[in-house]
Amino acid sequence: MGNGRIQELLNFRFKAKYFKEKGVNLLDGKTVARNIQKLEQATEDLVDLQSRACAFDLQTTRDFLEKAFRDNVSPEKVLIDGRSLRGYSYNIVPGSYAYNKYVLAIFKSNWSASFINGLIHSILNSWIEYDEEERKLLVDFLTDQIKSYKSHTSDVIKNALPYLSDNGAYKLGHSIKKQEKSIYECCQVFFLPRNRFVYSYFSDVIAGYYGDNPSVNFEELKKVLKNHNNIAATKKVLPLVIITYDRKKQVSKELVRLAIDMIGDPFIQSKWAPFKGANREEEQNLQKARQILVSVISAEFINVFFKTLTYDPRRLDFWLNRTKYISDFRVFGSSYSRSIMSGKVDVSILNKHYSTTTNNQDTCALVMVIREYAIIEFTDVGALYVYKNTNNMYKSIMEDRCRVDKMDDLKIPEIGKLVDDSAGYFHYYPEGKMVHRGSWERRMENWLNRIALK
């Protein structure tokens, strides 16, 4: 009896939704759900059994094929049994276009419909790891073979082929979302059990499902990303979500928390480094999303600093409108001030960016890094201080374990004016202090444009 017939009798490629539709009038909802779960588990067991049924020595087969490739043996003359090829179809790894093209020629010479499932598994499992040319090679080969040879397996899988094209995975995600189905339905499109949701192909499906969704359930998304268990998916999807919500000015604390939990502190650039296989657009999205989070978190701290630790609407307004330029920050202050902030900002970020002064004085300092400069504001009105990254004061302040005894430790007494207009015209210096008097905002804005941001 053919493999396709066995699968047909076992109802191997069932879809849970059909079972539910037919049984909903006969059984109560809990029983239906329980039976669906049992059938899904049975499907997973059958797929695993199918994989084990073609158990073979992978290393021996690979060594044999690589030797044939090195020796320039014509693919038509390579003598290899179908069982070994079937097993190898599940293990076509990325890395060598020429070698994989040679192997596919051997598959073609010995073609069997039993290779289809293995090829699909290889393509979906290493979707991101294949480079664009290599992925196209496998997809085109599979498509041609399915169209050229009629079989039960090819008939049932051909409708899934469009989702292996460029942006096909994204389109699949969009389609499932539009139909208001669960994201896990994507596995059924390829007649795979849910436990294959970890394949890297589904990273793009998740991106298509959640990427431009304006009303994401963040708890659901977190579970989906954890189930998929692929950092590439996390770094594809979350930047898209963050950018989408930023357009509406709705990047919430919940979304910030999710990004920190799943990727890491956005102030640590290495945590947000591109994943292997990321294209230019994905790299740009990742960095754009990181900067959005840095801006949002900086705004939270600026709000607390100038509204709660002190009250200064002018300074609050000035710095809130410039958070997009801030790349890092520090807060120095008393343990009491820290306790106030802990109830209003993300604690994990606070722990990294807040240093308690040893004498617990009331005055606090906010250090904002813009390009090569550290700008220090204090809760008492006084003056702000600016140090360039070549100054030892800057280096000391930005050390992770910097400890300050009192606020005066952050001030160089002999430092000159940041902007000097004593000669009847404005002269801008890379370092100095500026008193908050008169139109200080205009002077500071000009300094930013002429010195820090030029």
Which residues touch 231 (CB under 8 Å, ≥6 apart)? 275
Question: What is the rounded CA–CA span in Å between residue 444 and residue 425?
Answer: 15
Determine contact, residues 103/65, Cβ cutoff 8 Å: yes
Determine contact, residues 156/13, Cβ cutoff 8 Å: yes
Instruction: Look at the block and give the residue holding tokens 């989070």.
Output: 293
pLDDT, tens digit, for every residue of 83-102?
999 999 999 999 899 999 99
Q: What was the pLDDT predicted at 8? A: 47
Which carries the bigger pLDDT value, residue 158 or residue 209?
209
Which residues touch 431 (CB under 8 Å, ≥6 apart)? 386, 387, 388, 391, 415, 418
Q: In Å, how far from its chain's centre is CA 346? A: 20
Q: Positive or negative, the Cα torsion across 71, 75, 78, 82?
A: positive
| 187 has pLDDT over 60 | yes
Q: What was the pLDDT predicted at 277? A: 84
Confidence of residue 134 (pLDDT cuts 50, 70, 90): very high
CA angle 100/172/145 to nearest 5° reads 35
Record the tokens describing residue 440, joined without a space.
Answer: 């200080």
Question: What is the rounded CA–CA span in Å between residue 196 and residue 187?
Answer: 7
Average pLDDT estimate for 41-70 = 73
Q: What was the pLDDT predicted at 40? A: 58
Determine contact, residues 370/452, Cβ cutoff 8 Å: yes
Average pLDDT estimate for 106-135 = 94
Question: What is the rounded CA–CA span in Å between residue 38 and residue 182?
Answer: 18
Record the tokens describing residue 328, joined without a space.
Answer: 């890092």
| 230 has pLDDT over 80 | yes
Q: What percent of the chain is predicted at pLDDT more than 70?
A: 88
Instruction: Look at the block and give the residue holding tokens 């695993």.
Output: 48
Query: Could you give the dihedral angle defined by the CA atoms of residues 244, 247, 248 and 250, in that order, rounded to the nearest 10 degrees?
Result: 70
pLDDT, tens digit, for every residue of 398-450?
987 778 888 999 999 999 999 998 877 899 999 999 999 999 999 999 999 99
Record the tokens describing residue 264, joined without a space.
Answer: 């890491």
Burial 242-261 (b: 16+ CB within 10 A, else e): bbbbbeeeebeeebbebbbe
Closest alpha carbon to 224 in 173, 148, 280: 173
Confidence of residue 169 (pLDDT cuts 50, 70, 90): very high
Burial 17-27 (b: 16+ CB within 10 A, else e): eebeeeeeeee
Question: What is the rounded CA–CA span in Å between residue 50 and residue 114?
Answer: 10
Residue ranges in 229-275 assigned as alpha helix (H): 231-247, 253-262
Determine contact, residues 176/184, Cβ cutoff 8 Å: no
Q: What is the CA radius of gyration of the chain?
A: 30
Determine contact, residues 169/150, Cβ cutoff 8 Å: no
Query: Could you give the dihedral angle defined by the CA atoms of residues 445, 446, 452 and 454, in that order, rounded to the nearest 10 degrees?
Result: 120
Q: What was the pLDDT predicted at 10? A: 47
Q: In Å, how far from its chain's centre is CA 326? A: 22
Q: What was the pLDDT predicted at 106? A: 97
Provide, for the chain, the percentages of residues in helix, strand and coil under a 3-state DSSP scheme, each rounded to the nearest 5: 60, 10, 30
Determine contact, residues 250/217, Cβ cutoff 8 Å: no
pLDDT, tens digit, for every residue of 350-398?
999 999 998 878 899 999 999 999 999 999 988 999 999 999 999 999 9
Record the tokens describing residue 390, joined without a space.
Answer: 């070549």
Question: What is the rounded CA–CA span in Å between residue 274 and residue 277?
Answer: 8
Q: What was the pLDDT predicted at 276? A: 86
Strand 354-356 relative to strand 326-333, pairing: parallel
Record the tokens describing residue 355, joined without a space.
Answer: 């240093």
Question: What is the rounded CA–CA span in Å between residue 83 and residue 110?
Answer: 11
Amino acid at 123: I
The domain limits of the chain are 3-163, 174-263, 311-452
User: What value does the mean pLDDT of the chain take?
Assistant: 89
Q: Is 125 buried (19+), middle (13-18) or exposed (0-12) by CB count in 10 A? A: buried
CA angle 425/378/292 to nearest 5° reads 90
CA angle 271/207/125 to nearest 5° reads 85
pLDDT, tens digit, for every residue of 271-328?
999 998 889 999 999 999 999 999 999 999 999 999 999 999 999 999 999 999 999 9
Which carries the bigger pLDDT value, residue 125 or residue 49?
125
CB-hemisphere CA count at 13 Å for 355?
21
Q: What percent of the chain is predicted at pLDDT more than 90?
A: 75
